[in-house]
């Protein structure tokens, strides 16, 4: 029997607050530090490991986090989710994105169909289309092969798929898997679409229009923008566009598209990279087998998240240490720092995933919570960030927990030996060095050169950024966010906070404004 409770109603949360905080700089020094880092590691699927040696926990705090996980029934709540219960209470919806990559529990029957079978069926339809495009069965009107795929979508229909594409583009290039180059149009700013159109060859491009409702303003506007360009180029737009949408959307049955693939209300935008939202563009870009490997990596991580033992459940562990940092130690922000240029936009995806899911002030029943919830998430790849904002991370007046990611091998395997080491070795040496610098600090008579240390981090380490590793990485953070939502008793699957802006923007466009809104509208010449 599941009971949904606010965190501050739990005896185990009180106990957690009473635990003596560790002195991280001290704990990370010497042989004790070495033992910590060796011990505090857990496999997270697809060959990745989550190492939390430099997070501010010890055996005592981990015990209390375990007790918290049990009292807050995190495992049971996860089971409720993957067994198809209505976890998205605000919108009264199930939460089924994990069924796109595997099935962890009962058959989920909704809308009269088995949802796992439905998602797999859509994947197969996408795979068939992608294969036909790649082998030349589907071409443009001139009988020429398509070379570029352009995703038109915003939010979850853009950030996740774009981050995943960039993560694998170079890997695909050197492994003979880059079937088509992908581009993305998202912003309603007309210069976004105009800029992309100015650098692609529209005659050899397929556009993937992604909107669950079929009513997203930005996406429909950009569709028209693109159709205008296709018509101006003398092309038949319906031969260049496919739709990813829900079966009830106006786009679903339109003859304007070469094909339509379906999603449903049980997959939120920010959780949709493994659905057709990511599936169409990634299968077209890299081929269906690569997309399948990506899903398998995600499925491995999902399975690990079932583990009742906190120490063998990397997503739950990451989540609860985060709760401890946020609600006991009082840290407001988390930085995401992948030492991998291919993950340049992964922080932007994680920013949406986390901040849109858990940036809330009411619990899942709409009652206010009396504790801090989701942190601000930001980040850039290392080593670039080291030459940018790390100054503040090392010596600023606030402590910012850090999430590093690193891989032993590069994707393209082209490298150069300078001063006795390769670039890949330099990259890895830097992330190792940063973890210890942040945790241990360094004393100095000149306080301007002193590092206080005590700045926590974790690192996810993999062999190489492959499709499976990327899938596991994606799912790890989805599951982390889910567990944090359960811990805080939030509904992590709606986003009512985006509505007011939409309503007011419509008023501005209808010139139905007064007061400050009218003045801003005038200043902006609307």
**Where in 377-416 is the site for a second copy (CB under 8 A)?**
377-378, 380-384, 386-398, 400, 406, 408, 410-412, 414-416
CB of 79 to a second copy, least distance (A): 25
- SS3 category, 424: helix
Binding residues for a second copy, how many (CB under 8 A)?
159
**12 versus 221: smaller Cβ distance to a second copy:** 221
Q: Which residue has the tokens 């959307």?
A: 249
Among 74, 220, 244, 337, binds a second copy (CB under 8 A): 220
What tokens were used for 396?
């600023």
CB of 109 to a second copy, least distance (A): 28
135 binds a second copy, rule: CB under 8 A:
no
User: Could you give the CA distance from residue 185 to residue 193 in angstroms, rounded to a whole number?
Assistant: 6
What tokens were used for 415?
């490298």
**76 versus 192: smaller Cβ distance to a second copy:** 192
Q: Tell which positions 113-132 bind a second copy, by CB under 8 A.
A: none
Burial (Cβ within 10 Å: 0-12, 13-18, ≥19) of residue 85: middle
176 binds a second copy, rule: CB under 8 A:
no
**17 versus 132: smaller Cβ distance to a second copy:** 17
Q: Which residue has the tokens 């294969």?
A: 131
Which residue out of 356, 360, 380, 480 is catalytically annotated?
356
Q: Is 356 a catalytic residue?
A: yes
469 binds a second copy, rule: CB under 8 A:
no
| Nearest C-alpha neighbor of 213 from the set 289, 160, 158, 268 | 268
Q: Is 137 a catalytic residue?
A: no
439 binds a second copy, rule: CB under 8 A:
yes
Which residue out of 31, 387, 445, 511 is catalytically annotated?
387
CB of 293 to a second copy, least distance (A): 19
509 binds a second copy, rule: CB under 8 A:
yes
Identify whether the C-beta of residue 25 lies closer than 8 Å to the C-beta of residue 31: no
Name the segment binding a second copy (CB under 8 A); options: 56-64, 212-220, 301-309, 317-325. Answer: 212-220
Continuous segment of H or E residues that includes residue 150: strand 148-152
Burial 37-65 (b: 16+ CB within 10 A, else e): beebbbebbbbbebbbbbbbbbeebbebb
User: Could you give the CA distance from residue 102 to residue 110 in angstroms, rounded to a whole number?
Assistant: 17
CB within 8 A of 458, min separation 6: which ones? 50, 51, 52, 53, 54, 55, 318, 321, 402, 403, 404
**108 versus 281: smaller Cβ distance to a second copy:** 281
The overall longest dimension of the chain from CA atoms, in Å, is: 74
3-state secondary structure 338-377: EECHHHCCHHHHHHHHHHHHHCCCECCCCCECCCCCCCEE
CB of 255 to a second copy, least distance (A): 20
User: Could you give the CA distance from residue 382 to residue 431 in angstroms, rounded to a whole number?
Assistant: 8
Q: Tell which positions 284-313 bind a second copy, by CB under 8 A.
A: none
442 binds a second copy, rule: CB under 8 A:
yes
Q: Which residue has the tokens 């190489």?
A: 464
Name the segment binding a second copy (CB under 8 A); options: 127-135, 201-209, 254-262, 495-503. Answer: 495-503
Count CA atoms within 13 Å of residue 487 on its CB side. 32
**128 versus 192: smaller Cβ distance to a second copy:** 192
End-to-end CA distance of the chain: 55
Q: Is 134 a catalytic residue?
A: no
Among 189, 256, 308, 512, binds a second copy (CB under 8 A): 189
CB of 105 to a second copy, least distance (A): 28
Q: Tell which positions 226-285 bind a second copy, by CB under 8 A.
A: 228, 269
Q: Tell which positions 20-59 bind a second copy, by CB under 8 A.
A: 28-31, 33-34, 36-38, 41, 49, 51, 53-54
322 binds a second copy, rule: CB under 8 A:
no
Question: DSSP string spanning 61-93?
Answer: HHHHHHHHHHHTTHHHHHHHHHTT---BTTTTB
456 binds a second copy, rule: CB under 8 A:
no
**16 versus 337: smaller Cβ distance to a second copy:** 337
**295 versus 335: smaller Cβ distance to a second copy:** 335
112 binds a second copy, rule: CB under 8 A:
no
Among 82, 225, 257, 486, binds a second copy (CB under 8 A): 225
Continuous segment of H or E residues that includes residue 337: strand 333-339
**20 versus 502: smaller Cβ distance to a second copy:** 502
- SS3 category, 382: coil
359-378 footprint of a second copy as x/- string (CB under 8 A)? xxxx---xxxx-xxxx-xxx
**103 versus 466: smaller Cβ distance to a second copy:** 466
Residues with catalytic roles: 356, 387, 502
């Amino acid at each position: 029997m599941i009971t949904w409770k606010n965190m501050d109603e739990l005896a185990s949360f009180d106990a957690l607050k009473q635990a003596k905080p560790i002195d991280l700089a001290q704990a990370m020094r010497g042989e004790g530090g070495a033992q910590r880092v060796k011990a505090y590691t857990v496999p997270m699927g697809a060959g990745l490991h989550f190492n939390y040696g430099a997070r501010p926990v010890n055996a005592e705090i981990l015990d209390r986090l375990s007790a918290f996980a049990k009292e807050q029934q995190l495992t049971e709540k996860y089971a409720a989710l993957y067994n198809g219960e209505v976890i998205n209470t605000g919108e009264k919806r199930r939460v089924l994105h994990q069924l796109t990559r595997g099935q962890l529990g009962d058959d989920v029957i909704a809308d009269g169909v088995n949802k796992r079978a439905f998602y797999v069926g859509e994947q197969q339809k996408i795979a068939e289309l992608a294969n036909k495009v790649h082998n030349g069965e589907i071409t443009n009107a001139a009988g020429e092969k398509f070379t570029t795929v352009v995703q038109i979508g915003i939010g979850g229909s853009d950030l996740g798929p774009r981050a995943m594409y960039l993560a694998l583009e170079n890997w695909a290039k050197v492994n003979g898997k880059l079937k088509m180059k992908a581009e993305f149009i998202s912003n309603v700013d007309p210069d976004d679409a105009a800029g992309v159109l100015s650098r692609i060859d529209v005659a050899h491009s397929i556009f993937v229009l992604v909107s669950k409702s079929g009513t997203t303003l930005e996406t429909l506007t950009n569709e028209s923008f693109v159709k205008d360009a296709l018509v101006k180029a003398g092309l038949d737009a319906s031969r260049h566009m496919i739709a990813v949408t829900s079966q009830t959307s106006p786009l679903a049955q339109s003859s304007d598209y070469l094909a339509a693939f379906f999603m449903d209300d049980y997959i939120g935008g920010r959780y949709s990279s493994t659905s057709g939202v990511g599936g169409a563009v990634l299968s077209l870009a890299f081929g269906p087998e690569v997309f399948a490997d990506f899903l398998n990596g995600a499925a491995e991580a999902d399975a690990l998240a079932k583990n009742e033992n906190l120490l063998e459940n990397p997503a739950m562990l990451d989540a609860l240490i985060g709760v401890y940092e946020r609600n006991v130690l009082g840290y407001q922000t988390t930085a995401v720092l992948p030492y991998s240029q291919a993950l340049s936009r992964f922080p932007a995806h994680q920013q949406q995933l986390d901040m849109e899911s858990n940036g809330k002030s009411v619990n899942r029943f709409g009652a206010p919570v009396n504790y801090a919830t989701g942190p601000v998430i930001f980040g850039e790849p290392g080593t670039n960030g080291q030459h940018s904002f790390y100054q503040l991370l090392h010596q600023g007046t606030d402590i910012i927990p850090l999430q590093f990611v690193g891989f032993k091998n590069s994707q393209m395997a082209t490298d150069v030996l300078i001063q006795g080491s390769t670039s890949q070795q330099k990259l890895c040496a830097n992330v190792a060095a940063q973890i210890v610098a942040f945790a241990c600090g360094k004393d100095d008579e000149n306080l301007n050169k002193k590092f206080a240390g005590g700045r926590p981090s974790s690192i996810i380490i993999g062999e190489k950024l492959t499709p499976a590793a990327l899938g596991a990485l994606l799912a790890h953070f989805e599951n982390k966010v889910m567990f944090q939502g359960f811990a805080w008793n939030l509904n992590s699957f709606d986003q009512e906070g985006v509505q007011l802006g939409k309503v007011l923007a419509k008023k501005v466009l209808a010139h139905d404004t007064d007061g400050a809104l009218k003045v801003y509208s005038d200043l902006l010449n609307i």
